[in-house]
């Protein structure tokens, strides 16, 4: 697998790291929002606080981390060199960060001006990223599965954000659109055609390389992203056309496609050559099991009327998918990408004169283990809060703040190691500098 990677094409380290360090801040804000709103947040999935919390995780934590990862992985894994990556990173980060904060404020206040500003900032940021990434991928002629997967994931991102901006515009100016239907389509595109498709493309390289597992089967690399995007397009058309029976069948296929990725990943991880599980493997396994539970819950809700009538099942589904699934796998990715980036850039800068610190010295295993324990504690408390919000919402909010404060501390610690070692390199070779 390492033969597929082009480490010399990595962008400046500050390009992805700014996104990684920002991501946990939004999760901390989500925890604070839970503490502020209390049990009322679980009254309905459409309350202002619930919508704000959802977008702190999706447009905040997830989007920051995933765009930062793509900035790094496009040239390294796909050989897609983005023109002026540091400029792109600066523009995108400077746009989506205030854009997400404005969107959250808009949900909490329902002021049209805030929705308009959020649409403008997020639209600019995501458009710049998609244009730069699409151009980089277009210049790569390789028909490899990761290239195809990333191209389709970018398309999924574009549709997801477009639908989100349309919804935000409608909320601000009452366009009379079918908001509930469009919101469900928006979330589905984000979870499957963007999030799942990207994780599958990246995981096909990262899981075997970092977790010492067998490769994913060839049919998965060739067909998964096409299946995810194809079923999403067909389901969206059927749902908007009002074809209830066909829409239900295609929705089931979408869910089963996501479940296939989870089952396959768990099976491959079971064959890992590592003598014992490390933090990253536990995060990935927890994420895949939680995703499977979310898929099973969705299918059960479609089959059992009593469950579908329960107002709490969308919250349970959201906690399983967002906090147990996507957040877990993203933190696991951050714990591999961040120390590797520090080691790689210091190794290149040292040029043999100053040896780069071992990756385990960049980010200690014990620090990651304690943060992982805090993360899964917060996840468990959030699950309990769905059933007994009055008892568990405040412990869940506090635990979410602690877990992501710890994540932020660990990432900043890795940045501190980089800066301290960079001083040693510059002292050994005056005048040497890196594109930062």
Domain boundaries, the chain: 2-428
CA distances from 360 to 107, 203, 270, 402 (A): 41, 22, 24, 23
pLDDT of residue 222: 80
Residue, of 349 and 228, whose pLDDT is higher: 228
Confidence category of residue 8, pLDDT binned at 50, 70, 90: low
Q: How far apart are CA 254 and CA 243, in angstroms?
A: 16
CA distances from 59 to 122, 126, 191, 322 (A): 9, 11, 12, 12
| CB contact set of 167 (below 8 Å; sequence gap of 6+) | 177, 179, 182, 183, 186
Picking from 192, 147, 213, the residue whose alpha carbon sits closest to that of residue 295 is 192
CB 253 within 8 A of CB 228: no
Q: How far apart are CA 296 and CA 303, in angstroms?
A: 11
Instruction: Report the range of poorest mean pLDDT among 139-143, 362-366, 424-428.
Output: 139-143
Picking from 191, 186, 130, 135, the residue whose alpha carbon sits closest to that of residue 329 is 191
Q: What is the mean pLDDT of residues 6-23?
A: 82
User: With b meaning 16 or more CB within 10 Å and e meaning fewer, what string describes 58-96?
Assistant: bbbbbbbbbbbbbbbbbbbbbbbebeebbebbebbbebb
Q: How far apart are CA 84 and CA 95, in angstroms?
A: 17
> 């600066």: which residue's tokens?
90
Positive or negative, the CA dihedral 268, 271, 274, 279 is: positive
DSSP state of 217: P
Confidence category of residue 4, pLDDT binned at 50, 70, 90: very low
Confidence category of residue 3, pLDDT binned at 50, 70, 90: very low
Q: Is residue 274 left, alpha or beta, with left meaning phi > 0 and alpha meaning psi from -120 to 50? A: beta
Confidence category of residue 352, pLDDT binned at 50, 70, 90: low
pLDDT for 375 beyond 70: yes
pLDDT of residue 330: 95
Instruction: Specify the fold of 2-428.
Output: Cytochrome C Oxidase; Chain A (1.20.210)
Question: Long-range contacts made by residues 391-399, C-beta under 8 angstroms, separation at least 24?
Answer: 393/34, 393/38, 393/39, 393/41, 393/42, 394/34, 394/35, 394/38, 396/34, 397/31, 397/32, 397/33, 397/34, 397/35, 398/31, 398/35, 399/31, 399/374
pLDDT of residue 173: 81
pLDDT for 430 beyond 60: no
pLDDT for 142 beyond 70: no
Confidence category of residue 74, pLDDT binned at 50, 70, 90: confident
Q: How far apart are CA 351 and CA 436, in angstroms?
A: 17
Q: What is the mean pLDDT of residues 323-349?
A: 89
Q: How far apart are CA 338 and CA 132, in angstroms?
A: 23
pLDDT for 435 beyond 70: no
Confidence category of residue 176, pLDDT binned at 50, 70, 90: confident
Q: What is the mean pLDDT of residues 74-102?
A: 89
> 């010492």: which residue's tokens?
212
pLDDT of residue 343: 82
Q: What is the mean pLDDT of residues 382-406?
A: 97
pLDDT in tens, 237-253: 999 999 989 999 999 99
pLDDT of residue 223: 84
Confidence category of residue 7, pLDDT binned at 50, 70, 90: low
Helices 197-211 and 244-269: crossing angle, nearest 10°? 10
User: With b meaning 16 or more CB within 10 Å and e meaning fewer, what string describes 222-243?
Assistant: eebbebbbbbbebbbebbeeee
Ranges of H-type helices in 3-144: 14-37, 48-55, 63-78, 85-109, 112-138
Confidence category of residue 59, pLDDT binned at 50, 70, 90: very high
CA distances from 158 to 30, 65, 125, 128, 154 (A): 25, 17, 12, 11, 6
pLDDT in tens, 34-57: 999 999 999 888 999 999 999 999
CB 33 within 8 A of CB 107: no
Written as six digits, the tokens of 423 are: 């001083």
Average pLDDT taken over every residue of the chain: 89
């Amino acid at each position: 697998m390492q033969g597929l990677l082009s480490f010399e094409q990595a962008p400046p380290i500050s390009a992805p790291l700014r996104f990684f360090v920002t991501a946990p801040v939004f999760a901390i804000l989500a925890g604070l929002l839970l503490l502020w709103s209390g049990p009322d947040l679980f009254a309905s999935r459409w309350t202002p606080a619930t919508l704000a919390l959802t977008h702190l995780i999706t447009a905040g934590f997830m989007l920051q981390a995933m765009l930062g990862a793509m900035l790094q992985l496009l040239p390294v894994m796909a050989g897609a060199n983005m023109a002026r990556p540091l400029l792109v990173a600066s523009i995108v980060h400077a746009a989506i960060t205030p854009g997400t904060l404005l969107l959250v404020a808009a949900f909490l206040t329902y002021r049209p001006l805030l929705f308009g500003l959020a649409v403008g900032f997020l639209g600019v940021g995501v458009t710049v990223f998609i244009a730069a990434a699409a151009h980089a991928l277009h210049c790569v002629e390789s028909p490899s599965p990761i290239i195809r997967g990333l191209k389709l994931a970018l398309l999924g991102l574009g549709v997801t954000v477009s639908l989100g901006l349309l919804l935000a515009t409608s909320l601000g100016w009452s366009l009379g659109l079918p908001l509930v239907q469009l919101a469900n389509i928006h979330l589905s595109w984000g979870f499957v055609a963007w999030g799942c498709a990207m994780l599958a493309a990246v995981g096909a390289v990262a899981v075997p390389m970092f977790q010492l597992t067998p490769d994913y089967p060839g049919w998965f690399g060739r067909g998964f992203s096409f299946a995810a995007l194809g079923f999403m397009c067909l389901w969206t058309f059927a749902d908007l056309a009002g074809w209830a029976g066909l829409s239900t069948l295609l929705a089931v296929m979408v869910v089963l496609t996501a479940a296939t990725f989870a089952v396959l990943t768990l099976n491959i991880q079971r064959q890992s050559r590592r003598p014992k599980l490390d933090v990253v493997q536990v995060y990935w396994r927890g994420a895949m099991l939680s995703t499977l539970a979310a898929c099973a819950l969705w299918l059960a809700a479609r089959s059992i009327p009593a469950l579908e009538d329960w107002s709490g099942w969308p919250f349970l589904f959201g906690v399983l998918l967002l906090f147990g699934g996507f957040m877990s796998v993203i933190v696991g990715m951050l714990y591999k990408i961040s120390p590797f980036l520090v080691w790689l850039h210091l190794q290149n800068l040292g040029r043999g004169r100053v040896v780069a610190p071992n990756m385990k010295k960049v980010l200690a295993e014990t620090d990651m283990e304690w943060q992982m324990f805090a993360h899964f504690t917060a996840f468990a408390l959030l699950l309990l809060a769905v059933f007994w919000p009055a008892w568990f919402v405040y412990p869940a909010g506090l635990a979410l703040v602690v877990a992501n404060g710890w994540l932020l501390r660990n990432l900043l610690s890795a940045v501190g190691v980089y800066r301290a070692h960079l001083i040693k390199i510059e002292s050994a070779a005056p005048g040497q500098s890196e594109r930062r």
